A and B are shown apart, each in its own frame.
Chain A
Amino acid sequence: MTPSYVSTRNPCKLCAPFGATLAFLGLEGCIPLLHGSQGCSTYIRRYMIGHFREPVDVASSNFHEQAAIFGGKSNLAEAIFNVVKQYQPRVIGIATTCLAETIGDDVGMILRELSSKAGNVDLPALVHASTPSYHGCDAEGYHAAIRAMVDQLAGNQPGADHLALFPGMLSSEDLRYLRDLVEDFELPVIMLSDYADRLDGPTWDTFHRIPKGGTPLEQLYRLGGARTCLELTSIYEPARTGGGLLADRFGVRHVRLPMPIGVKLTDRFTRELEAISGRSLPYRHAAERGRLIDSYVDAHKYVFDKRAVLFGHEDLVVSLSAFLAEVGMIPALIASGGGNAGRLRRAVLSAAPELEGHTRILGGVDFAEIEEAAVQVQADLLIGSSNGYRLSRQLGVPLVRVGLPIHDRLGAARVMHVGYRGTQQLFDRIVNALLEARQDGDPTGYTHM
């Protein structure tokens, strides 16, 4: 067993306001604002830019010593005012940093006061999430922000009878695909949050204060009338999620499903869509499913019994584990920087019970711990973020980059994970990484594999 360290060495998580910022970027016309000092927002911006290679504007209330001692109320008000002047946003999404949380600023109250004093000055919609990093990672912050949006913006305005889809932290291309998939069932959909276009858009022909894309506020105002809310998480309890709150407050039917990766988990997702829409799986998706299984057959021997180390946010690694299990690979080590081993284990074994006894599961760990454990599992492959590159180099095994952050390759926003199509791309990449390692490591260098 590895010694248990007090310090965190090479973290395998980001902080909560990062996740909240990401969620806010999926609201149309929204500028995220971090309540705290300047560094947090600049670092988070920089990190997102490294991954998405897109402009990411995140404002800060920019605490100074006075604010740190007496509270950041006037800073927050000034920040909101300045953001409005420069960006004319429709929404400002406020997340608290550790500093503001520790001081104990009551952001809700500050905002209420501000709105009542604003009189006839036009303020944008204001939504705020409490995201102290000292009790949660980026995924936690993401869900806190989604829940805050439901809490403070969702309404019951009449409109089409739609499906609410809460996809979780996925890539831009995943979000685009999920929207298409649901719409192919002829289901009107409200997706929260949808940063697909904002964080993977074209070059500009004109200036943009705020890039296009995102879930429009009008849709949030109608969210309470959804016929069902599908929420893609196997980790977060309804008491912590937007979907849970939507069910409580508006009586919306709430279905939690693991992120649909692999045939089995995607089938669960599409069966649910079939039930909701009363239509069967549209032809082009059935065809994608068919091709995916066909490729499993073609490659089954290349992947059988291959041992993988998985790391990333919990919901992602849970579903990836189930996918690896269904193709005959062994996720020998499943690790996440967030949460704890107990809840991760429960979620993995519920998604893929056949893994019982074949895998080691580590929750709330850092890369130093992952490295120490990985050395013992004889891995053939690593699957996770770019931060695993050190380990990949050290072990001499390939890294298939998924999730976030991917800051050493192009196209992070277009890496797919979910659905038949996303699984197909992932499967092809995994098989090819294994083949490439085998070919490169072979003295003969066969050209037909």
Chain B
Amino acid sequence: MNNDMIDILEDRKDQIHRTGAAPYAMDCQKRSLAGSVSQRACVFCGSRVVLYPITDALHLVHGPVGCAAYTWDIRGALSSGPELHRLSFSTDLREKDVIYGGEKKLYAALTELIAEYHPQAAFIYSTCIVGLIGDDVQAVARKVERETGIPVIPVQSEGFRGTKSTGYKAACDALSRLVGTGPTHHLPDHSINIIGEFNLAGEAWILRRYYERMGVHVAATLTGDGRVNDIRSCHGVKLNVVQCSGSMMHIAKWMKDTYGIPFIRASYFGIEDVSRALYDVAEFFGDDTVVERTRDLVRQEVKAILPQLSLWRSALEGRKAAIYTGGAFKAFSLVRSLRTLGVKTVIVGSQTGNQEDYELLRELCDEGTVLIDDTNPLELQKFIRETGADLLIGGVKERPIAHKLGLGFCDHNHERKLPLAGFEGMVHFGREVYASLQSPVWHLTYRSSGPCKEVS
């Protein structure tokens, strides 16, 4: 089939732009079109992403079984202790529950699960059906909370009530019920929270080690390797460092309004961004020893990884990449990290970016880069072919598109099994990109950018 025949749906035209082409206003943050095969999931998915890594809480999905089944242990959020989050709990609503209501079942499920697993708190995720049958989840939660003595927190995550971002907000609202309910006297002076960090493949541990070396204490990570008690006390810090701002900015803003705790945005991907993040935190405390230690840390770490990176760079110079992420903030770091490796970004998009994000991306990217919001498989195919990208960076849903088209693929999503954050993460990332692009298997496949290569 000819590429020109892939047309963009009329209603999606304002969600696609090319840098350099005037005038420009990304029409983002809107609902996916009916019938468009969006790569987004739902409100529930957004909430689940944010709260899932809390390891000692019970996560009960209130609804039919599917919503829970598809999210059972799919993410790589590691724990240094309890692993309750890795189990899947559902009320598995049946026909009679749908007719007569699911409150009794919800109550029984909560009671038995709390008795069996002794969680520190329980989250109840409402899925679509619950929104319809009108269960009074709040009332059940209050009752169980009274009876068991642990916080039982409803999460308003019915899939149809918005987009994934709505789910982030619902999760932050749920978290705000915990924050501020614990003691803070044990927290040292230089304490921070890392927010929007989910400890995928142990990334939170890498960051924690950096901060410790700098002399900064991490009171809580929200929510990677999370513990309910840490979250209850996390309002005792001096600063919130917010990563992946799309998902958890709400809670940082809320803590600023409620407790006067300032926040800064940070990204830990790529040499430039991780260094910037650490310096920003050091400068915030304005303590010379901290600043000095940070400088040493960055110097040592960069020195340790540069030789390897430049080796890869010499092999990769001039290759082209497409980026499609959940939140847009990560995309900035990816564009820069790829530059470090000599790889040019030709397509960049996200499921949930906002206007400001896209404006920043436009400034950051080279002219002619395609910017896309909430795209779908057919559009991705079209632009990959037009730009001749050699590599796609995205999540599991994007992988087969890349592979079918004969392109390398790197997983930079919540299911990754390799830590990509920090300086050592940059080495993993470099190796991933290198292995994806240099593999000899591409000599045997068809390439989107040209005719079938001769096999010799």
Q: Looking at A42, A46, A49, A103, which has the most chain B CB atoms within 10 Å of its CB?
A: A42
A192 in the interface, Cβ–Cβ < 8 Å?
no
CA distance A86 to B452 in the complex (A): 26
Judging by beta carbons under 8 Å apart, are A39 and B399 in contact?
Answer: no
Nearest-CB residue, chain B, relative to A16: B66
Q: List 15 A-B contacts (CB under 8 A).
A: A7-B109, A8-B91, A9-B87, A14-B65, A49-B400, A53-B400, A53-B403, A55-B377, A59-B35, A65-B160, A79-B35, A86-B35, A135-B95, A209-B378, A387-B72
A-contact bits for B97-128, CB 8 A (1 contact / 0 none): 11000000100110011000000000000001
Residues of chain A lying within 8 A (CB to CB) of residue B445: 203
Residues of chain B lying within 8 A (CB to CB) of residue A61: 34-35
Which of A30-38, A246-254, A289-297, A440-448 is the contact stretch? A30-38
Contact among B9, B66, B396 for A82, CB-based, below 8 A: B9
B37 in the interface, Cβ–Cβ < 8 Å?
yes
Residues of chain B lying within 8 A (CB to CB) of residue A206: 1, 446
Residues of chain A lying within 8 A (CB to CB) of residue B131: 68
User: With A61-B35, A83-B35, A86-B9 as given contacts, are A39 and B93 in contact (CB-CB < 8 Å)?
Assistant: no
Judging by beta carbons under 8 Å apart, are B90 and A15 in contact?
Answer: no
B44 in the interface, Cβ–Cβ < 8 Å?
yes
Contact among A38, A76, A103, A207 for B132, CB-based, below 8 A: A103
Judging by beta carbons under 8 Å apart, are B446 and A203 in contact?
Answer: yes
Judging by beta carbons under 8 Å apart, are B72 and A10 in contact?
Answer: yes
Judging by beta carbons under 8 Å apart, are A85 and B7 in contact?
Answer: yes
A169 in the interface, Cβ–Cβ < 8 Å?
no
Q: Top 9 A-B pairs ranked by shortest CB distance?
A: A39-B42, A15-B66, A82-B35, A79-B35, A7-B109, A8-B92, A43-B70, A79-B34, A205-B446
Residues of chain B lying within 8 A (CB to CB) of residue A17: 66
CA distance A14 to B378 in the complex (A): 27
Seen from chain A, the residues whose Cβ lies within 8 Å of a Cβ on chain B are: 5-11, 13-15, 17-18, 33, 36-47, 49-50, 53-65, 67-68, 75-76, 78-83, 85-87, 97-99, 102-103, 132-135, 137, 203-209, 368, 387
User: With A11-B68, A59-B36, A134-B95 as given contacts, are A37 and B89 in contact (CB-CB < 8 Å)?
Assistant: no
Contact among A50, A57, A76, A132 for B37, CB-based, below 8 A: A57
* Minimum distance in angstroms from B423 CB to a CB of chain A: 30
Q: Looking at B38, B64, B113, B385, which has the most chain A CB atoms within 10 Å of its CB?
A: B64
Nearest-CB residue, chain B, relative to A72: B34
B327 in the interface, Cβ–Cβ < 8 Å?
no
B-side interface size class? 35 or more
Nearest-CB residue, chain A, relative to B104: A6
Judging by beta carbons under 8 Å apart, are A39 and B63 in contact?
Answer: no
Judging by beta carbons under 8 Å apart, are B70 and A55 in contact?
Answer: no
Judging by beta carbons under 8 Å apart, are B92 and A7 in contact?
Answer: yes
Residues of chain A lying within 8 A (CB to CB) of residue B243: none
Residues of chain B lying within 8 A (CB to CB) of residue A14: 65-66, 69-70
Judging by beta carbons under 8 Å apart, are B36 and A82 in contact?
Answer: yes
User: With A49-B396, A204-B446, A209-B1 as given contacts, are A7 and B37 in contact (CB-CB < 8 Å)?
Assistant: no
Judging by beta carbons under 8 Å apart, are B98 and A9 in contact?
Answer: no
Residues of chain A lying within 8 A (CB to CB) of residue B305: none
Judging by beta carbons under 8 Å apart, are B70 and A47 in contact?
Answer: yes
B304 in the interface, Cβ–Cβ < 8 Å?
no
Residues of chain B lying within 8 A (CB to CB) of residue A43: 41, 45, 66-67, 70-71
Q: Looking at B88, B92, B94, B376, which has the most chain A CB atoms within 10 Å of its CB?
A: B92
Nearest-CB residue, chain B, relative to A42: B41
B360 in the interface, Cβ–Cβ < 8 Å?
no
CA distance A137 to B64 in the complex (A): 10
B401 in the interface, Cβ–Cβ < 8 Å?
yes
Nearest-CB residue, chain A, relative to B70: A43
B235 in the interface, Cβ–Cβ < 8 Å?
no
Residues of chain B lying within 8 A (CB to CB) of residue A36: 128
* Minimum distance in angstroms from B405 CB to a CB of chain A: 6
Judging by beta carbons under 8 Å apart, are A64 and B397 in contact?
Answer: no
CA distance A38 to B105 in the complex (A): 26
